[in-house]
Homo-oligomer: A and B are copies of this chain.
Amino acid sequence: MNDDPTEDPRSAALEQLERFGLSGYAARTFVALASLGSGTARDVSQVSEVPRTQVYDAIDELHDRGLVDILQSSPKEFWAISADTASRTFKNELHRRTGILRTALNELEPVEHRVEQRGIWTVDGQRAVTERIIEFFGNAEEEIVYKTSEDLLTDDLIDGLSEAAERGVSIELGGVSAAVQERIRDEIPEATMSESPSAWSDMSAGRLLLIDGRKTLVSALVDESDASPSNPRSETAIWGEGETNSLVVVLNAIFP
């Protein structure tokens, strides 16, 4: 995946546009028009390497999406909306659609979304692990113990902790340096913090979460074979729920 849009803007834009549902031709046509400002089918075809006869279909697709305006003349001329307007357009559409998805899924969701006592579940990927932790923060009722490698402590997570604290959940946060402790004390004054607590200091890096003594999650950072410099090394986590869950039992024993 091309994550650095300044390095190869053309292919970065192409990738995103296609993943937003445009056909390959439509994406290439739009990128061509965006760099040209405006032009005819011929112009577009030359810089985009889309067959000229297919430019018209691509333009239809883009016009329907509101990304391109058409000048009815001969030859027809096409005009791409600005970068800012384009990303605004997408953002609006996607915002609307995540809203639809949210309510739809909430309609479907069963009342009890609880999980079995036994068993250890797996989650992979830094983003997914973070999301899962935030979800667990939201379910906490009494106590959160969270020890983390400092660079994994994103704003999302701090927000989640902060909300839990406001509900009256006691927070114990470990692994954070004195400097960051300072910053967090502003947002979550109730939290107790430590720099390198107990057994955790031994672990290379990763996270440990204990909630209400009955739900837990541990993660480790792994160097993958295809580790690219842009892509942060990925994370693997396991979690379990329930008083008798083996993972919960073990971790409760280690971190009293």
Contacts and interface: CB of A to CB of B under 8 A. Distances in A.
Interface of A: 3, 5-6, 9-10, 12-13, 16-17, 19-21, 31, 34-38, 63-66, 69-73, 77, 79, 81-95, 97-110, 112-116, 119-125, 127-128, 131-132, 134-135, 138, 239
B123 A17 contact: no
Contacts of A19: 21, 97
Counting from the closest, the 3 A-B pairs by CB-CB distance are: A66-B128, A83-B105, A9-B107
A115 B12 contact: no
User: Can you tell how many copies of this chain the complex includes?
Assistant: 2
Nearest to A17: B101
A121 B69 contact: yes
A82 to B, nearest CB: 6
B102 A98 contact: no
Given A9-B108, A35-B108, A64-B124, A102 B84 contact: yes
A191 to B, nearest CB: 23
A25 B137 CA distance: 31
A122 B72 contact: yes
Nearest to A18: B21
22 contacts: A5-B100, A5-B104, A9-B104, A13-B101, A31-B108, A35-B108, A37-B112, A37-B113, A38-B116, A65-B128, A66-B124, A66-B125, A66-B127, A69-B239, A70-B122, A71-B119, A72-B122, A77-B116, A79-B121, A81-B132, A82-B113, A87-B102
Question: Which of A6, A69, A81 gathers the greatest number of chain B CB atoms within 10 Å?
Answer: A69
Contact of A119 (B73, B110, B122, B132): B73
Contacts of A79: 115, 121
Contacts of A38: 115-116
Contacts of A100: 3, 5, 12, 16
A175 B64 CA distance: 28
Contacts of A36: 110
Instruction: Give the interface centre of A65, A73, A105, A123 by most chain B CB atoms within 10 Å.
Output: A105
